[in-house]
């Protein structure tokens, strides 16, 4: 009887009908009584792991799952994604075709940069001479040259010479010196001297007046007229400026600036819009006798702007802040009656929207003068009033379209990387002039908008092509050699 039972159990085990660890019905269960008890030996583990059971489909109870994974149906946004692709098909490929010559030029520059620098710069690339050019709808083409020496005496001292012709300059020459690390690593002294003959400067009157196509009875009084008439004048300016930069802490700087400027004015002989034909220039402070004054300013700067993606051009800032606050004082020399103070500030915020390749930039700026009525008291020349308009500030309007005792500006700009040496941007600027900051209001704001393409290599900014328009119907195209949010010296900009 026992033999037959053993035979049947062995046959069942071989057929896989009974688990290998099942005990005989009449076999007592072994109980371990100490930690030294010998464990029961298990059979060899299976050579292949069982296939995992897929999780139940989303929204299905585990007891109702079939064990077969079912893909979710596409969302409405995914099903409609073909619409923008179809609408943008022609513009996208049109841009691609038009951009190939420019991409080819940028690629050539990148791969032959060392050879080009060998032709333009010394063998050690410490000094060199290179050409520059720009274009503006308002002024036309401008060409020039730059000579630079980056390490004059071995402590990163810098010398730069300027020469410009055409466009907004009949001729312009300049010299800039920097002490580098000669004095200290946290302190830099700079000196700059420029002479410029600008034959076509713009004047549209004062304040936020409406521009007319044709002027009323001539000449009009710029102080009392409530209309704006486009006109041009000549300005010859000699300016010397020295500024001292001191690094207080990481990203925090103090700049002290002293500037002397001598200006002479006259009728313009370009554009057929001479100021003498349209305005009573005897009512413009400084126009007949010129100006000669000094200006001293202190500025506190915090600048943490920086790129965030190591694979995108180093000139594309993607995060950080730029904060600036300044105050300055101007006094006339000899017979010049100039006497005013200036104050203001600027805030920029860079917001990284996607891995350093999609960036939203917000900017707010105010600039104002005090100690003068800005018009008739003789304490400030008409060219030294805060201004808006041009390729950087309130884009879409002519350069210097608005001038008054104070100006305010706000900007939102979205920039994205296009790859292959290109970046695109779109912007909206809003702002307007005011007699003073105490009279600021949010009504009647002027608005400019547009976009552009930037060309750049991994380490260098090449140029910016910008098309800007205003809500008042102005349209301007600019080719500039610097970004709209560049790092520029504020004092002497106006």
Strand partners, 126: none
CA 412 – CA 350 distance, rounded (Å): 10
Averaged pLDDT score across all residues of the chain: 81
Comparing CA positions, the residue from 376, 369, 203 lying closest to residue 295 is 369
Could you tell me if residue 370 is inside a domain?
yes
Task: Tell me the per-residue pLDDT of 161-215, one tens digit each, with 9 for 90 and over.
Answer: 999 998 888 899 999 999 988 888 889 999 999 999 999 999 999 998 887 766 6
Q: Which of 492, 371, 382, 483 is nearest to 427 (CA)?
A: 483
Summarised one tens digit per residue, pLDDT across range 228-243 is 888 999 999 999 999 9
What is the C-alpha separation between 6 and 9, in angstroms, rounded? 5
Q: Considering the domain boundaries, does residue 17 fall inside one? A: no
- Cα–Cα distance, 293 to 259 (Å, whole number): 8
Neighbours of 20 (CB within 10 A): 8
Reported as type and span, the H/E element at residue 110 is: helix 89-111
How many domains does one find in the chain? 1
* CA–CA gap between residue 204 and residue 316 (Å, rounded): 35
* pLDDT attached to residue 182: 83
Q: Give the model confidence (pLDDT) of 388-400 as tens digits.
A: 999 889 999 999 9
CA distance 341 to 346: 17
Please give the angle made by the CA atoms of 265, 266 and 268, to the nearest 5 degrees.
Answer: 125
Other residues' Cβ atoms within 10 Å of the Cβ of residue 85: 9
For the segment 321-348, the average pLDDT, to the nearest whole number, is: 95
Residue 489 lies in a domain: no
What sign does the dihedral 212-216-218-222 (CA atoms) show?
A: negative
CATH number at residue 229: 2.40.160.50
Whether 486 is in a domain gets the answer: no
Round to whole Å and give the CA distance between 372 and 429: 28
CA distance 190 to 242: 6
Secondary structure (3-state) at 33: coil
Question: pTM of the predicted model, to two decimals?
Answer: 0.74
Residues of 22-61 as b/e, b for ≥16 C-beta within 10 angstroms? eeeeeeeeeeeeeeeeeeeeeeeeeeeeeeeeeebeeeee
- Return all residues near 152 (Cβ < 8 A) that are at least 6 apart: 158, 159
Give every CB contact of residue 343 below 8 A, 6+ residues apart in sequence: 326, 327, 328, 368, 370
Rounded Cα gap, residues 439 and 443, in angstroms: 11
- pLDDT tens-digit readout, 131-164: 888 888 888 889 999 998 888 888 888 999 999 9
Specify if 43 maps to a domain: no
> What distance, in Å, lies between the first and last C-alpha atoms of the chain?
116
CA–CA separation, 417 vs 318, rounded Å?
Answer: 11
| pLDDT higher than 70, residue 40 | no
Residue 12 has a pLDDT of 46
Query: 37 in a domain, yes or no?
Result: no
Q: Which domain holds residue 336?
A: 126-480
Q: Tell me: the pLDDT tens digits for 241-287?
A: 999 999 999 899 999 999 999 999 999 888 778 898 889 999 999 99
- Tell whether 10 is covered by a domain: no
Q: Has residue 331 been placed in a domain?
A: yes
pLDDT single digits (tens) 342-376? 999 999 999 999 999 999 999 999 999 999 998 88
């Amino acid at each position: 009887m026992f033999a037959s039972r053993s035979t049947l159990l062995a046959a069942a085990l071989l057929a896989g009908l009974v688990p290998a660890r099942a005990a005989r019905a009449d076999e007592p269960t072994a109980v371990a009584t100490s930690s030294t008890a010998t464990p029961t030996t298990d059979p060899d583990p299976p050579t292949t792991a069982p296939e995992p059971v897929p999780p139940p489909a989303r929204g299905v109870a585990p007891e109702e799952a079939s064990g077969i994974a079912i893909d979710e149906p596409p969302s409405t946004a995914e099903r409609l994604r073909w619409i923008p692709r179809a609408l943008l098909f022609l513009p996208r490929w049109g841009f691609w075709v038009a951009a190939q010559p420019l991409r080819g030029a940028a690629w050539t520059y990148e791969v032959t940069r060392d050879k080009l620098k060998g032709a333009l710069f010394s063998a050690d690339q410490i000094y060199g001479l290179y050409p520059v050019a720009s274009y503006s709808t308002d002024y036309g083409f401008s060409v020039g040259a730059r000579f630079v020496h980056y390490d004059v005496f071995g402590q990163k001292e810098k010398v730069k010479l300027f020469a410009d012709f055409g466009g907004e300059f009949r001729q312009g020459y300049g010299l800039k010196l920097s002490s580098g690390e000669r004095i200290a690593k946290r302190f830099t002294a700079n000196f700059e001297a420029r002479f410029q003959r600008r034959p076509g400067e713009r004047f549209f009157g004062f304040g936020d007046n409406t521009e007319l196509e044709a002027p009323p009875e001539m000449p009009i009084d710029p102080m009392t007229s409530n209309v704006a008439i486009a006109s041009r004048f000549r300005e010859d300016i000699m300016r010397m400026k020295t500024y001292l930069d001191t690094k207080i802490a990481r990203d925090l700087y103090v700049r002290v600036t002293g500037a002397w400027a001598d200006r002479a004015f006259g009728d313009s002989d370009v554009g057929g819009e001479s100021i003498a034909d349209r305005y009573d220039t005897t009512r413009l402070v400084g126009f007949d006798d010129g100006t000669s004054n000094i200006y001293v300013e202190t500025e506190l700067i915090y600048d943490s702007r920086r790129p965030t993606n190591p694979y995108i051009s180093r000139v594309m800032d993607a995060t950080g802040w730029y904060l600036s606050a300044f105050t300055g004082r101007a006094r006339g020399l000899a017979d010049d009656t100039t006497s005013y103070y200036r104050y203001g500030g600027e805030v920029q915020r860079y917001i990284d929207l996607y891995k350093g390749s999609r960036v939203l930039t917000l900017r707010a700026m105010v600039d104002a003068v005090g100690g003068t009525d800005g018009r008739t008291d003789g304490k400030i020349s008409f060219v030294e009033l805060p201004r808006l308009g041009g390729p950087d500030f309130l884009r879409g309007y002519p350069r210097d379209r608005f001038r008054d005792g104070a100006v305010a500006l706000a900007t939102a700009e979205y920039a994205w990387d296009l790859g292959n040496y290109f970046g695109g941007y779109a912007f909206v600027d809003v702002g307007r002039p005011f007699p003073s900051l105490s009279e600021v209001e949010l009504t009647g704001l002027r608005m400019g908008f547009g976009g552009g393409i930037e060309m750049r290599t991994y380490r260098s900014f090449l140029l910016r092509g910008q098309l800007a328009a205003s809500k008042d119907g102005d349209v301007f195209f600019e080719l500039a050699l610097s970004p709209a949010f560049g790092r520029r010296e504020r004092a002497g900009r106006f």
